[in-house]
Amino acid sequence: MPPALGHPAPHPDTDRATPVQARELARTGDAVLLDVREADEFAAGHAPGALHQPLIALAAGAPLPPAATGRTVLALCRSGHRSRRAVELLAQRGVRALNVTGGMHAWALAGLPVTTPGGEAGRVA
């Protein structure tokens, strides 16, 4: 699938990114993190700067958060299964999306920060 306008494809032969790659793509503004877990999971701990839209809402046709519109999306869940489904759903909408492999578990294991909506240290639920 071609990249979103103005955003080069970070991995032309795959629809995945490691947590470290995803953090860098989000940091540089080349993509936006989208956490597709349930609200309680997101509240317990998420990647800093991640937007939130549960998979169930995406599956029901809910729009992406405005900040994700027209951008490459890095889908993130707890282990990578829900985010893989989110990538499929988003691709059907014409959205360039990558699955963050291993989800928030891999994110935390890589030593990347996990935060709460209030800015405190979070945990992966």
Residue pair 52/42 in contact by the 8 Å Cβ criterion: yes
Query: What are 121's strand-pairing partners?
Result: 115
Of the candidates 100, 99, 101, 104, the one whose C-alpha atom is nearest the C-alpha of residue 122 is: 104
* Residues designated catalytic: 77
Beta bridge partners, 52, equal 35
Where do we find the tokens 């291993």?
102
42 closest CA partner among 110, 123, 98, 99: 123
